[in-house]
Structure 1
């Protein structure tokens, strides 16, 4: 074996040895870790058991306290009920006494009130009678005033109706006069036209007579004076 081979072999052996030590260290470390985990689990289990025990003790203590509290509350409630019964009995006695006093006071007050009520009612009745008299007088005055007012209003209405009637008669007369005047003017215009026609007729008649006379004269001249004209 050459020196180089020996060196290489030695290195390999050394590397294997170092690997075995590393493996052994890893195995030992794994064992220690496993033991530590076991111890941890044991400790956790003990902690859980301890906490559970403490919880049970606390729950038992709380139950005892709650029971004690309930007993104390029941005792206090009974004492309160007893006190309320005593107070209610006292109030009942006081209420009976108060009702008795009120009844006595009511009878006394009622007698006074009845007397005052009768007096007040009598005064009110007198006042009502006086008010009725005043109202009756006022009503009569108002009726008298209303009748007078109605008469004045009726007179005023009658006067207005008469004035309106007179005005209507006046307007009717004016209208009739206007119609008559129109008829008169129409008639006068007609007469004027007829007079004009008459003048024209007279003029035409005169002209006709002149023509007739001229014609007779011509005829007479033509006949040698044998026809006369009248």
Structure 2
């Protein structure tokens, strides 16, 4: 295998490896997204059950309270809930801002790493091309000095045929590399979309957890309020 054929084979192998890594990233991210969706469904189910129990207790309590005390309790409860919602909204805004800042920092760092990687790859390619040029020049000089005059025409014909085969093989290899890179880019785009979906699911799950906490607090308040009153 010539130096050029070896380099082209290495490029194809590298393209396939990059595409496989992109496929694996997409598979792992898909699993994480599925788990987040399951957790969100479980949390919503718990919230519904908790709220149902809280409402049953509150209804039983309200039937046994005098009308004046019931109105006062409802007013206080609404006031407390409004204060809690305002506080939770403030905390949610802070959490969302922190998540957004972290996401922006990740994108900046990734862009810098990508630029450095492209620069390093370009330098390596230029060095390889220069080495290949020097190697080809040396081979041509040695071949010219060693071949006899009467064999020159036959050798040139053989070389043309060989070059045509190599050129065809190179073109086919380049097509394969382009296809691998295309598949890798598509998978990387899919991973980027799935990363965004994962981030949104995390934020939704955090909000759901806050709702769940509020529902538990409602249940605790309802239980506390039912003690000491006739059933």
Q: TM-score, with normalisation over the residues of structure 2?
A: 0.32
Query: Larger radius of gyration, structure 1 or 2?
Result: 1
Q: TM-score, with normalisation over the residues of structure 1?
A: 0.32
